[in-house]
Chains A and B, each alone.
Chain A
Amino acid sequence: MSKKRNIKILMIIISTLFVLLMLVFPLASVLVNSFSKGLEFYFNSLKTEYFFSALGLTCIVTFITVIVNSFFGIIASYLLTRYSFAGKHILATLIDIPFSISPVIAGLAFIMMFGRLGWATPIIDTINSITGWNIKIVFAIPGVVLATIFVTFPFVSREIIPVLNAVGTDEEEAAAIMGASGFTIFRKITFPHIKWALAYGVVLCSARAIGEFGAVNALSKTRGMTFTLPLEIDALYLSGSSDSIVAAYAVSSILVLVSVILLVIRNILEYRSDRIKISVEERAEIKED
């Protein structure tokens, strides 16, 4: 028995040390650095016009990204778990691709498409000249939005698919046999199952969208106009003087704060969805009996 206890303590110590060293230390280091010139300096560095512009843009971009990716994530995971068709695995893999691709490539992809030399630029120009609009994709806000959507594309669907797989299709099939329309089935049966997974996916997706750097860096060049918070941090950091480096940490600390809040929300969501999962499993057991 005491051997078992020793193992338990050892495991807990290893886990705690790892988390402390690899995750908590960097976090603490950001916070310590951001306050190294005092509270007043900290708040002053959060009062610049650049900061507010970057904050605003980050919010807009994250909002659009989350809407688009949630919409896509729900439908794609519905498709992948409720129907079987040829090429399903390839489709699933293609959806996952942005997950592992270098953000640099993501940025490059949009530049190759919409940049001055890109093949889609003549199309945009034609649209502009016919309608009198002035659409600009890369080096403007739409490009930032597109790049962010790209890198966070699979985040929601990855969370929903396992839940839908676990729940199974029995209920939906029953409803379909009874003559319910697709939309009704989705609203009344599927959605209640996935709502916590969806919320969890949204949280992860927004966390990643807020923090995206590599892809956006490739196609956003104007500070104060198309800069998101991570780019603003980079700009401050590269400004070189020790003041601006501390300011960079101060802005980072805001992002850290946001991510901690998101993680707390995530934990609450997970707690709830755990309870739901348990109830699903209990029901499944009853059925089997």
Chain B
Amino acid sequence: MSMKKFNLCVVVMAIILSMLTGCGATSGGDSKNVKGNSKTVTITNVSYDPTRELYAAYNEIFSDYYKNEAGIDVTVVQSHGGSGGQARSVVEGAEADVVTLALAHDITLIEKAGLIEPDWIEEFEGDSSPYTSTIVFLVRSGNPKGINDWDDLIRDGIDVISPDPKSSGAACWNFLAAWYYASQKYGNDEEQIKSFMSKLYGNVKVMDSGARGSTTTFVENGQGDVLVSWENEAISTLSEYPDDYEIVSPSISILAQPSVAIVDENADRNGTQNIAHDYLSYLYSENAQRLIGEYGYRPSDKAILGEYADKFDLDMSLCTINDFGGWNAAYEEFFKDGGVFDEIYSR
């Protein structure tokens, strides 16, 4: 290449570079939220899949409340997806003032990345879980396969639909609930528990990447005999197809505690720390707790939970994540690469 051609080359590179960055600058402006206006504030709530409907309704009552209370218009932007993937996108820089995810471990991941202060779980009541849920079975109408408890799932010829614990928060709760049942049944004989779990996951016919995918596989595509599901998913499916499905409560399940937290770094930068705090604490108000009950989640307020006694099977005995030594311990033992799940699944 002659010197002249080389120079030309460099000039062209420089022009294109400046074009591209210029392009980025103008289009960057589009995506910027309107935050300068003191009367209107936008916050972003990054949540998991099944809460779409709940937060759509909650955001409305919250912005009414806030308009009356503080005279500020709040617009809440929602983002939904698999809980783990959502946590990752926050770590990677997705806009989020608050996160409302399926399990504490996902929030811990964000905490480890330095975006959330370490004592977040103390910030709100009940381990920062304004609502809880549990794991139940959804079976086809009339319960043709006679599925009543966890040990029915390991029978031959039962097709189970449950998502992949490697990518779904709900699936982790499913796994732990089944594990706890087995540990009660076999009196902590590790070998027997593992063979129980191995049989159970051997019966899983379709393992979708998320809880919603599993529901669709079971309901829309008609696969499997039983869906191991969030209670709230089961309730909403039942209300849509009351004649086609039944909910079966197993004798033992787990208290699934979806957690909420303020993403401190983002909220401080956006100046939304106070609103974010109000947004999450209003979840504990009476109005919000009733709304939560309406949408099939168990309100953390005991009195309001009682009002929905016909909706939830309150007699089910529930273990908690603390029976497994907390989420970090459970994750290390069961779900990380080479953990118990991999072991029983490859048997």
Chain A interfacial positions (CB closer than 8 Å to B): 64, 111, 114-118, 121, 127, 131, 133-142, 145, 221-226, 235, 237-242, 245
Contacts and interface: CB of A to CB of B under 8 A. Distances in A.
B258 to A, nearest CB: 17
A109 B50 CA distance: 29
Contacts of B212: 238, 240
A121 B91 CA distance: 13
B38 interface: no
B121 interface: no
B37 interface: no
Contact of A142 (B28, B53, B89, B216): B28
Interface in B76-119: 77-81, 86, 89, 91-95, 113
Contacts of B273: none
Interface of B: 21, 23-25, 27-32, 44, 46, 49-50, 52-53, 77-81, 86, 89, 91-95, 113, 210, 212-213, 215-216, 220, 233, 236-237, 240-241
Given A222-B77, A223-B78, A116 B91 contact: yes
A221 B53 CA distance: 17
Given A223-B79, A242-B240, A245-B216, 5 more contacts: A64-B23, A114-B93, A140-B28, A222-B78, A240-B215
Residue from A115, A127, A141, A240 with most neighbouring chain B CB atoms (10 Å):
A240
Contacts of A114: 93
Contacts of A137: 24, 28
Given A225-B77, A235-B80, A240-B212, A142 B24 contact: yes
24 contacts: A116-B92, A117-B91, A117-B92, A117-B93, A121-B93, A134-B32, A135-B24, A135-B25, A137-B28, A139-B92, A141-B30, A142-B24, A142-B31, A221-B79, A221-B86, A221-B89, A222-B77, A222-B94, A239-B52, A240-B215, A241-B240, A242-B241, A245-B216, A245-B220
A67 to B, nearest CB: 10
Nearest to B237: A240
A250 to B, nearest CB: 16
B330 to A, nearest CB: 26
A265 B95 CA distance: 40
Contacts of A245: 216, 220
- Decide if the interface of chain A is mainly helix, strand, loop or mixed: loop
B92 A141 contact: no
Contacts of B210: 238
Contacts of A136: 28, 31-32
A75 B279 CA distance: 53
A108 to B, nearest CB: 10
B92 A140 contact: no
B83 to A, nearest CB: 13
A238 B51 CA distance: 11
B93 A145 contact: no
Contact of A141 (B31, B44, B237): B31
A141 B29 CA distance: 9
Nearest to A140: B31
A142 B92 contact: no
Contacts of B50: 240
Contacts of B32: 134, 136
Contacts of A118: 92
Contacts of B23: 64, 142
Contacts of B31: 136, 140-142, 225-226
A66 to B, nearest CB: 14
B221 to A, nearest CB: 11
A222 B216 contact: no
A137 B28 CA distance: 7
B240 A133 contact: no
A134 B29 contact: yes
Nearest to B94: A139
Contacts of A140: 28, 31
Contact of B93 (A116, A238, A242): A116
Contacts of A221: 46, 79, 81, 86, 89, 94-95
A111 B216 contact: no
B95 A134 contact: no
B28 A133 contact: yes
A118 B94 CA distance: 13
